[in-house]
A = this chain, B = another copy of it.
């Protein structure tokens, strides 16, 4: 397989993938080493224990999220549309890292929760800055959250199979525009 990639990266990829597909329960060291095609000793050379491996995954998410935030801020369609557009799971590196760390957080990892909170807050801040209306901003971010869970978690809510993904997103972006228009017409808050 892609055995050319450094072992450290292969291990992290395998761990992430197992978190997504099998959950924290299934992401055992044995499963990771099988998927990464290294031995247990090999893994524990790169990461002294499981916690260190999780920390590395969280650090990787943080980098990817920071880069994404730059793109979100610079997007010509604005942060709100960017957020909803990108909230559909397409299996990007960020998508995978995000879902993987969500799984970790669900397994009560405080560091994972903390990173997710920071990321979430950065989204909220950017969207609020754009629409200027806290309730509308919150609704847009929540919509993205719902989308992420619907589409991204194999075992979470079921994804809607009745609508093509592309059309589905286009429709939701129209809804976002409706919300943005409303916020603009009622420049009440903040």
Chain A interface residues (CB < 8 Å from chain B): 21-26, 102-103, 105-109, 112-113, 116-117, 120, 124, 134-136, 138-139, 141-147, 149-150, 153-158, 160, 163, 168, 171-172, 174-175, 178-179, 182
Contacts and interface: CB of A to CB of B under 8 A. Distances in A.
B24 A25 contact: yes
Copies of the chain in the assembly: 2
Contacts of A124: 160
A158 B106 contact: no
A190 to B, nearest CB: 13
B106 A156 contact: yes
A107 B143 contact: no
B156 A150 contact: no
Which of A26, A116, A156 has most B Cβ within 10 Å? Answer: A156
A138 B143 CA distance: 10
Contacts of A109: 155
A177 B113 CA distance: 32
Given A142-B146, A150-B142, A168-B138, A156 B102 contact: yes
6 contacts: A24-B24, A26-B107, A108-B155, A143-B146, A145-B149, A179-B179
A182 B171 contact: no
A145 B172 CA distance: 15
In order of increasing CB-CB distance, the 7 nearest A-B pairs are: A142-B146, A145-B146, A135-B171, A117-B158, A146-B146, A105-B155, A139-B175
A105 B107 CA distance: 14
Given A136-B175, A182-B178, A156 B24 contact: no
A26 B155 contact: no
